[in-house]
C-alpha cells in the first residue's frame, strides 16, 4: 500500500487475474474505498479499520467483485447499476445486490474528505470520476489512465464520442494527481 496524500493510499491491482487498483480513504473510525478490486482479503490485509463502503467508478467486474464477495455497501452511478448484469455478461456473474445503491447528488463528504462526482460516460454508460478537493486527487476509473492512456469503448455499453466529451471535461478540471483504475498514479 502506497501513500498518495494524508490518509489516502493505493493498493495496486493485478493484470492476471485482472483486478482494479483500490484506493483507501482513511477516516477516523472507518475507511471508504474507491473501487474494490477482485479480492477483498488482499485489501483488508492492509486495513486497520472496517470498510464503511465503496465508491465505484463504474460497474465492471474487476472493480466490483471484491465488494460483492465481502458484501461491502457500495454507491454506483445509476447508469451502470441498472445494467450491471449486461455490463459483465461476458466475464462474470454480477448480480445486483441490495447493498449497492445509486449516488444521490454529486458531492460526497465524510470525515475530512470532500469528493465531487463527475459523470463521465464512454467506457461504460455510468462511469464517473471523483475529485477529492483537499488532496487534488482525481480518481479517474477506466476513463483516463496515466501516460496518456484513455478508456476503451469497444465493450458492452461503450461509446467513443461520449468518451471524447468526458475526456474534455476532465481536461478542464484542476487536479494534482491522476489516480486511475489500472496502472500508475501520475
Ligand atoms: Zn472497466
Which tens digits make up the pLDDT trace of 112-144? 999 999 999 999 999 999 999 999 999 999 999
pLDDT digits (tens, 9 = 90+) for 29-85: 999 999 999 999 999 999 999 999 999 999 999 999 999 999 999 999 999 999 999
**Residue written as grid cell 472507518:** 30
Percent of the chain with pLDDT over 70: 100
CA of 60 to the centre of ligand 1 (A): 5
**Whole-angstrom distance, CA of residue 122 vs CA of residue 158:** 5
Q: How far from chain centre, in Å, is Cα 53? A: 12
Instruction: Record the cell numbers describing residue 142, joined without a space.
Output: 477506466
Question: C-alpha 90: how far from its chain's center?
Answer: 20
Kindly list the structural domains of the chain, giving each domain's residue range(s) and its CATH number in brackets, ordered by start: 2-180 (3.60.15.10)
pLDDT at residue 146 above 90? yes
CA 123 – ligand 1 centroid, Å: 7
Grid coordinates representing 4 are: 498518495
Residues with CB under 5 A from ligand 1 (ion): 60, 142
The average pLDDT across 156-185 equals 98
- 3-class state of residue 81 by DSSP: helix
pTM, entire model: 0.97
Amino acid at each position: 500500500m502506497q501513500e498518495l496524500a494524508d490518509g489516502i493510499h493505493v493498493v495496486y491491482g493485478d493484470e492476471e487475474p485482472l483486478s482494479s487498483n483500490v484506493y483507501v480513504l482513511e477516516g477516523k473510525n472507518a475507511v471508504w474505498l474507491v473501487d474494490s478490486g477482485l479480492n477483498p482479503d488482499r485489501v483488508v490485509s492492509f486495513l486497520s479499520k472496517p470498510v464503511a463502503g465503496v465508491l465505484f467508478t463504474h460497474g465492471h467486474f474487476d472493480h466490483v467483485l471484491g465488494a460483492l464477495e465481502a458484501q461491502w455497501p457500495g454507491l454506483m452511478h445509476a447508469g451502470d447499476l441498472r445494467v450491471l448484469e449486461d455490463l459483465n455478461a461476458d466475464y462474470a456473474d454480477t448480480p445486483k445486490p441490495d447493498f449497492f445503491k445509486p449516488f444521490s447528488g454529486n458531492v460526497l463528504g465524510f470525515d475530512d474528505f470532500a469528493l465531487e462526482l463527475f459523470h463521465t460516460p464512454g467506457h461504460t454508460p455510468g462511469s464517473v470520476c471523483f475529485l477529492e478537493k483537499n488532496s487534488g486527487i482525481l480518481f479517474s476509473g477506466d476513463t483516463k489512465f496515466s501516460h496518456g492512456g484513455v478508456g476503451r469503448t469497444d465493450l458492452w455499453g461503450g461509446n467513443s464520442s461520449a468518451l471524447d466529451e468526458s475526456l474534455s471535461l476532465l481536461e478542464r478540471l484542476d487536479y494534482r494527481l491522476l489516480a486511475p483504475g489500472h496502472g500508475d498514479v501520475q
